[in-house]
Chain A
Amino acid sequence: MAATATATSRVETPTRMALKRFMKSTSGKIGLVMATFLVLVALLAPVFRPYNPATDRDFLNIKKPPSAERLFGTDNLGRDVFTRVIHGSRISLQVGLVAVGLSLTIGTLLGLMAGYFRGGLEVFIGWITDILLAFPSTLLAIAIVAVLGSNLTNAMIAVSVTQIPIYIRLARSVALSVRELEFIQAATALGAPNRRILLRHLLPNALPPVIVQATLSIGTATLETAALGFLGLGAQPPAPEWGAMLSDAFRQGHWLDAPWMMVFPGFFILLTVLAFNLLGDGLRDALDPRANK
């Protein structure tokens, strides 16, 4: 009797199984630790190092190399690179989350609709997808920013547009396979409205692959936004955005005599992207075990 009791209390729910698989994945665990660290840095930056990018200048300490006092050195305006880099993580994480949230919402809905309704709508959405995929993503993002104007918000919008097709394709393929299953037919027979079928029945099935993709996309979005910042098409100075900091260092040649202005912002871009790529790998092992190997 006691044995049955313990057995039932250890029922393997899907969540618990996924959690188990996630904890078995080395890359997932490393990614989780790194991402948590970055989120903490972003949250605590204003507590440890209150900072105003517009006024923080110290002309007596220009281009000082890294030291115990100034971990990452100072830049051409005497600003503390460490402070700017940790405040940059606030911008990058926000951008990553918002850009991915936008493309995920729009792309998933369009994809589900295409796969469920089929017909002309599917052809039309497929056409839009093909067109968006006909441009290398960096180029498309640059073109969009050229139209909207160069600032961080527009860079974010541009990056999210380039990612929409991925979600359309993912969600559409899920909708195509699920719509033929009995429970959807049952829901239709019961007179469930289309909106309910889409959101209550199709969406939950599309979520696991979409979540995995979204985690990986945060890395890509961070990278692309920083690239736009580097080209001067994203965040504008004096914002401590990593790409814009690199652009400052590169364009005015400061990186030649003060390489720390270039090394640290770039290293943090790498850390952030790596963290979310690892986390995404772990989540794939957990949520989508068939996709791997």
Chain B
Amino acid sequence: MWAYVARRLLGLIPVLFGISLLVFGFLRAIPGDPAVVMLGERGTPEQVEALREKLGLNRPIPEQYLIFVGQLLQGDLGRSTFSLLEVRSLLIAKWPATFELAVAAMLVAILIGVPLGILAAVRKNSIWDNLATSFALIGVSLPVFWLGLMLVYLFAVNLQWLPSGGRLSVEADAFFRPVTGFYVLDSLLQRSGVADVLSHLVLPAVTLGTIPLAILTRITRSAMLEVLSQDYVRTARAKGQTERVVIWRHALKNALLPVVTIIGLQFGTLLGGAILTETIFSWPGIGSWIYEGIINRDYPVVQGGVVFVALVFVLINLLVDLSYALLDPRIQYR
């Protein structure tokens, strides 16, 4: 097992090297001189030249790359050319928002998708099955940004049941002291504003969670169908086990492996793909931050954000692979 973990970690090195090459290449290829962007229109040619010198933009490209990687390895992501703040501290400040949203979205997806998939499989070809399958099909075909706007229009603008964006209402913000950056946790610790925080989370979480919800429903259904047709399930039924025990105790456990894979993979996609949802709900997370970075030509922000997201994505995929060992002892790691 540990040898397998070590080998997988070693295998990450070429991928990480590739990611760094790609990100570096992207940033050098983006049209526009960062020094000119930083100084704005009032910068004199001398100032631009001095700044280029300071940023190391005058050095040969391979040397620039080595400097970039060196800084990356030390966790130095530079400063935002727009706000002049350190990218690393911005990243630390922003990621809890994205993480919290992704967890909430995943909870929506798991809590609805898995039971729905089980129901569809157990009652195959019933009206429930048809409803669940159609719902899953529409879910994967939905444009997330449109769904978000529709939900806001219905629940925030028309019915006014839920807030339309942000993480807190203005009134609550005055008393709120973020400690961890995870507002649900913070509000529980302070015993205030819990309802406010949760109500802000509902619409973005449902929006972001719809696609994984649809995918999970589909995967759970097909995994359950596969397991339910196995001999040992028939044996369990023949023994006279109740249907409930057969489904929950015997079938579900073995159907979970593909479900867990998808949960892991989707979670990675959520962290990175939250850009659209965050933009619609003015959610101050990494997605909307990277997007603003691109609009403002804030290269260090884009660079730091993209590297971070790719890193998390790769690590989550690794964790998914490793979690197989826990769920399925038959898998041998050699």
Q: Which residues of A contact B309 (CB under 8 A)?
A: 135-136, 139
Task: Choose the segment among A16-24, A39-47, A126-134, A177-185 that binds chain B (4+ C-beta atoms closer than 8 Å).
Answer: A126-134
Q: Which residues of B contact A230 (CB under 8 A)?
A: 143, 145, 276
Interface bits A245-284 vs B (CB < 8 Å: 1, else 0):
0100110000110010011011101100110011001000
The answer to whether B149 and A262 have CB atoms under 8 Å apart is yes
How many residues from A make CB contacts under 8 Å with B? 45
Does B29 have its Cβ within 8 Å of any Cβ on chain A?
A: yes
Instruction: Count A/B pairs, Cβ under 8 Å.
Output: 127
A259-B153, A293-B225 are known contacts. Are A136 and B146 too (CB-CB below 8 A)? Answer: no
The answer to whether B313 and A223 have CB atoms under 8 Å apart is no
Task: Choose the segment among A52-60, A143-151, A205-213 that binds chain B (4+ C-beta atoms closer than 8 Å).
Answer: A143-151
Does B280 have its Cβ within 8 Å of any Cβ on chain A?
A: yes
Interface bits A96-136 vs B (CB < 8 Å: 1, else 0):
00000000000000000000000000000001101100111
In the bound complex, CA of A6 to CA of B46 (Å): 90
In the bound complex, CA of A148 to CA of B6 (Å): 38
Task: Choose the segment among B64-72, B134-142, B191-199, B323-331 that binds chain A (4+ C-beta atoms closer than 8 Å).
Answer: B134-142
Q: Which residues of A contact B273 (CB under 8 A)?
A: 136-139
Interface bits B29-55 vs A (CB < 8 Å: 1, else 0):
111000000000000000000000000
B4 to chain A, nearest CB (A): 18
Q: Which residues of A contact B31 (CB under 8 A)?
A: 147, 149
The answer to whether B143 and A273 have CB atoms under 8 Å apart is yes
How many residues from B make CB contacts under 8 Å with A? 45
A142-B291, A266-B149 are known contacts. Are A274 and B143 too (CB-CB below 8 A)? Answer: no
In the bound complex, CA of A29 to CA of B268 (Å): 34
* Interface residues, chain B, with chain A CB atoms under 8 Å away: 14-15, 18-19, 22, 26, 29-31, 137-138, 140-147, 149-150, 153, 157, 222, 225-226, 268-269, 271-273, 275-276, 279-280, 290-291, 294-295, 302, 306, 309-310, 313-314
19 contacts between A and B (CB under 8 A): A127-B15, A134-B19, A135-B272, A137-B273, A146-B26, A147-B29, A223-B141, A227-B144, A255-B149, A256-B153, A259-B153, A262-B146, A262-B149, A263-B150, A269-B143, A270-B143, A270-B146, A273-B141, A277-B140
Q: A135-B309, A249-B149, A266-B147 given; name 18 further pairs at CB < 8 Å.
A: A127-B15, A130-B18, A131-B22, A134-B19, A134-B314, A135-B19, A136-B269, A136-B309, A139-B275, A143-B294, A146-B294, A147-B26, A246-B143, A255-B149, A270-B146, A273-B142, A277-B141, A278-B137
